[in-house]
Amino acid sequence: MLTLIDIARILLSVLWWILIVQAILSWLIAFNVINTHNDFVRSVWNGLQVLTEPLYRPIRRVLPDFGALDVSPIVVLVLIAILDTVLARMAANIATGGAVPL
């Protein structure tokens, strides 16, 4: 039976892959490997933008402007990895009934 922690970790994993796909797609578009004149590519790109922009926006406000380099996806991926580690330790703590060393 899935616990709430397991469900949260699965959702974080799905979000992780959405961010990776969006980053790869942005590189492919930037290097003209694929273009947004294709309806399918444009639909996927717009859908990914709608999903990821609310995560990136607050980070972009805080980070300095690096020009063409957008590091907000890296920051979000690091935050997801940290949150997943915390959830994994919480799950281990619950499973063992005691403290789990950091």
Q: What angle do CA 39, 42, 47 make, to 5 degrees?
A: 125
pLDDT at 9: 96
Q: Which residues of the chain have pLDDT under 70?
A: 1-2, 98-102
- The string of DSSP letters for 19-50 reads HHHHHHHHHHHHTTSS-TTSHHHHHHHHHHHH
* Domain ranges within the chain, ordered by starting residue: 4-94
pLDDT at 66: 83
pLDDT at 99: 61
pLDDT at 102: 57
Residue linked to tokens 């797609």: 25
Q: The whole model's pTM is what?
A: 0.84
Q: How far is CA 3 from the centre of its chain?
A: 22
